[in-house]
Chain A
Amino acid sequence: GDSVTQMEGPVTLSEEAFLTINCTYTATGYPSLFWYVQYPGEGLQLLLKATKADDKGSNKGFEATYRKETTSFHLEKGSVQVSDSAVYFCALPNTGFQKLVFGTGTRLLVSP
């Protein structure tokens, strides 16, 4: 079945460091791909998405490129802030398109 694999955390960085969180997927066809973020004490919210191969999703300085050759959708940010500390989830819709399949989440901790 469809699945998403994320790198394990926590990822610990200093402010202004470069961030990469790896995500690879297994799916039938070329589904949309998502990154959701969960700030402390809150529910998940959509961070960015890409709907087809080679698309780049971006929001709040974060970017991710849909790479079908490597079945990857890695999340990047050039300069992280303390306020980016959160748990990040990679996700894709399952073949029924009514449900999302989530990765296990990667916790990011940014220190001043």
Chain B
Amino acid sequence: DVKVTQSSRYLVKRTGEKVFLECVQDMDHENMFWYRQDPGLGLRLIYFSYDVKMKEKGDIPEGYSVSREKKERFSLILESASTNQTSMYLCASGRDGGETQYFGPGTRLLVL
């Protein structure tokens, strides 16, 4: 079974803090994704990566950056957390050329 894990299920941070969300997949997938999920808005793509050290902006990249130093790991970074970044963050992975994505359990982030 594909397994995608995220470093934290719940996180509370203060405005202005730098926040790291980690995602690890164990299926040697080329593609990895970060989404945020908000009520009434569904899932919105923040960034994705199709290879090590490669990244592309999604629909809402502002205020975020990413890092992919190893194939299995994809990190989402909030450089200076703000209250409007309070959300559920979901990581996903998929193989190159494949359409199915496999999701982690999510990290619920609260920024105070």
From residue B42, how far is it (CB to closest CB) to chain A in Å?
4
Taking residues whose C-beta sits less than 8 angstroms from the other chain, chain A's interface range is: 20 to 34
Residue-wise interface mask of B (97-112) relative to A, using a CB-CB cutoff of 8 A (1 in contact, 0 not): 1011111111000000
Q: Are A105 and B42 in contact (CB under 8 A)?
A: yes
Question: With a CB–CB cut-off of 8 A, which chain B residues contact A41?
Answer: 105
* Cβ-defined contact, A43 with B106, below 8 A: yes
Given A43-B90, A44-B90, A105-B42, A98 contacting B104 (CB threshold 8 A) = no
Contact indicator B58/A44 (Cβ below 8 Å): no
Q: Please state if B4 and A97 are interface contacts (CB–CB under 8 Å).
A: no
Whole-angstrom distance between the alpha carbons of A42 and B9 in the complex?
A: 10
Residues of B within 8 Å of A, CB-based: how many? 22
Nearest chain B residue, comparing its CB with the CB of A102: B43
Contacts of B99 in A (CB 8 A): 32, 34, 49, 93, 97, 100
Let me know if A104 and B41 touch, CB within 8 A: yes
Q: Chain B contacts of A36 at CB under 8 A? A: 103
What residues on B are CB-neighbors of A44 within 8 Å?
Answer: 43, 90, 92, 101, 103
Mark interface residues in A4-47 (1 if CB within 8 Å of B CB, else 0). 00000000000000000000000000001010100001111110
Please report A residues at the B interface, Cβ cutoff 8 Å: 32, 34, 36, 41-46, 49, 89, 93, 97-100, 102-105
